[in-house]
């Protein structure tokens, strides 16, 4: 007799792990947000340039590079704003 409580996944028959951008094209969405936000602080980049420079690198590297190349001040909240915007765009 099984006395363990049923979990929310008890009836789950299939789980899809989208690790390569098939269901959500993260390799287009993220760089577009990065390009927009870099341009807002004076570093004009295309999404393709963002993809080439930052794909596979940590967000902290993106932040450091934007700070180094921006013509406007980039404060510590920039990275939080970037993450929030990426989440919102992915959700949409």
Q: Residue 25 pLDDT > 80, yes or no?
A: no
Question: Is 0.85 surpassed by the pTM of this model?
Answer: no
CB-CB contact of 79 with 34 (8 Å): no
The H or E element containing residue 81 is: helix 77-91
The average confidence (pLDDT) of the chain is 86
d(CA 64, CA 76): 10
Band of residue 9 on the pLDDT scale cut at 50, 70, 90: low
| Residue 2 pLDDT exceeds 80 | no
Kindly give the interhelix angle for 47-54 and 59-69, rounded to the nearest 10 degrees.
Answer: 120
Distances, alpha carbon 26 to alpha carbons 2, 15, 23, 35, 75, in Å: 42, 19, 9, 14, 25
| 3-state SS, residue 36 | helix
Band of residue 90 on the pLDDT scale cut at 50, 70, 90: confident
pLDDT, tens only, 56-88: 899 999 999 999 999 999 998 999 999 999 999
């Amino acid at each position: 007799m099984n006395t363990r409580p049923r979990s929310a996944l008890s009836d789950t028959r299939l789980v899809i792990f989208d690790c390569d951008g098939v269901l959500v094209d993260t390799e287009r969405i993220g760089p577009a947000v990065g390009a927009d936000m870099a341009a807002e602080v004076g570093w004009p980049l295309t999404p393709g340039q963002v993809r080439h420079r930052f794909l596979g690198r940590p967000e902290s590297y993106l932040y450091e590079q934007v700070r180094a190349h921006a013509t406007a001040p980039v404060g510590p909240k920039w990275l939080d704003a970037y993450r929030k915007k990426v989440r919102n765009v992915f959700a949409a």
